[in-house]
């Protein structure tokens, strides 16, 4: 099925009305399945690297809340995502983005076409919400994924966004 068709858009003409953003404003949408861990951490990290970026995150099937352990491990590095909430990618379909970045394989597979996206990228990360074991083992899995996201998005920022 065409990615747009599953969201009620059968052709590009239905998508003509897009949100226009200032040319000097870099906008990024980060997508995941639940928008409760990886995409939220990536959003927080990019915003911490450059306050001038417009960074949003969303999910293909948004969870009810940001995972509490994601909030905890981000706070450990000085980034507060406690006021964030999961959002549906549907609210962003008609907006323009410089980059649409998927951070999980599931989102990559079902991600609709964003006609307003200049570039679509994929940076895959393991889902820390699926971690099992002791509280410390789960915490360490979240920290590991957080650190991987930080390294990848800082590299992305330095190579593509920093002026």
- Is 32 an annotated catalytic residue? yes
State pTM to two decimals: 0.82
Nearest to 4 by CA among 114, 154, 103: 114
Residue 120, phi then psi, degrees to nearest 5: -115, 125
pLDDT of residue 161: 87
Nearest to 36 by CA among 3, 70, 7: 70
**Catalytic member of 31, 53, 101, 104:** 104
- Is 104 an annotated catalytic residue? yes
**Catalytic member of 26, 31, 111, 117:** 111
Nearest to 28 by CA among 133, 78, 103: 103
Q: At 42, is the secondary structure helix, strand, or coil?
A: helix
Q: At 162, is the secondary structure helix, strand, or coil?
A: coil
Q: Which domains are assigned to the chain? A: 26-161 (3.40.50.2300)
- Band (93; pLDDT cuts 50, 70, 90): confident
Q: Are 10 and 121 in contact (CB under 8 A)?
A: no
């Amino acid at each position: 099925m065409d990615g747009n068709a599953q969201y009620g858009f059968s052709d590009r003409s239905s998508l003509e009305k897009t949100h226009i953003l200032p040319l000097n404003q870099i906008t990024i949408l980060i997508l995941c399945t639940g928008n409760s861990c990886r995409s939220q951490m990536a959003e927080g990290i990019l915003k911490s690297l450059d306050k001038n970026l417009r960074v949003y995150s969303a999910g293909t099937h948004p969870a009810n809340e940001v995972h509490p352990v994601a909030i905890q491990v981000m706070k450990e590095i000085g980034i507060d995502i406690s006021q964030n909430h999961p959002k549906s990618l549907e609210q962003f379909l008609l907006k323009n983005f410089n980059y649409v970045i998927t951070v999980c394989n599931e989102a990559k597979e079902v991600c609709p076409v964003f006609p307003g996206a200049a570039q679509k990228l994929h940076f895959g990360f393991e889902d820390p919400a699926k971690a099992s074991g002791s509280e410390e083992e789960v915490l360490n899995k979240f920290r590991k994924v957080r650190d991987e996201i930080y390294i990848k998005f800082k590299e992305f920022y330095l190579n593509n966004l920093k002026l």
